[in-house]
A and B are shown apart, each in its own frame.
Chain A
Amino acid sequence: KAGVTQTPRYLIKTRGQQVTLSCSPISGHRSVSWYQQTPGQGLQFLFEYFSETQRNKGNFPGRFSGRQFSNSRSEMNVSTLELGDSALYLCASSLWEASTDTQYFGPGTRLTVL
């Protein structure tokens, strides 16, 4: 069974731009969670989607948003990029809601903001 896939793997943007990252969960998984990883803050939770609904949200500004489609694929969007948004963005999927099931991570999208 294929793992979690994320596209693109690497991205370079400039301040003020916006970006959309994509995540395809493991086949059959219905929950997708997004995390941001930086050297300074470590791994931090952004949000979780289950059955196209946001179930849980971390402490990030409204510039960070996401959505989930009927096939469970998810996208996250960051608007008005700031230098501090440079990070590895990780997507994790689970069969059921993240509160009840193990999460499996994708390889991440490395975003660099110049």
Chain B
Amino acid sequence: GESVGLHLPTLSVQEGDNSIINCAYSNSASDYFIWYKQESGKGPQFIIDIRSNMDKRQGQRVTVLLNKTVKHLSLQIAATQPGDSAVYFCAEKGGSQGNLIFGKGTKLSVKP
């Protein structure tokens, strides 16, 4: 799995390029998935979600893809901007448990 804190995986992209952030989730019973963006000094901000009966969902400049076969989730950001620089977390939720189980996070760095 991915490491955290000082060893947080980093994705560095050029402004204007597309970004793809990947996440492997743990529970095959999870039926709801969310991507959050966390900027320095702030709480996680909801970006987009997807339920397990879908394999793709699009928002404004963002697309989430879900592959249940391999328990993989990805977030695609089109035309990445400097304001997209942040740590991105995927989270899963399933069954009767309402709590979110977060992935370790990926730091996105956008070069101007």
Contacts and interface: CB of A to CB of B under 8 A. Distances in A.
B98 A90 contact: no
Given A40-B5, A41-B4, A43-B89, A107 B43 contact: yes
A100 B94 CA distance: 10
B99 A105 contact: no
Contact of B96 (A90, A99, A104): A99
Contacts of A35: 100
Contact of B46 (A42, A48, A55, A104): A104
Interface stretch (B62-70, B76-84, B101-109): B101-109
Interface of A: 4, 31, 33, 35, 38-45, 48, 55-56, 58, 90, 92, 97-100, 102-108
Interface of B: 4-6, 34, 36, 41-46, 49, 89, 91, 93, 96-105
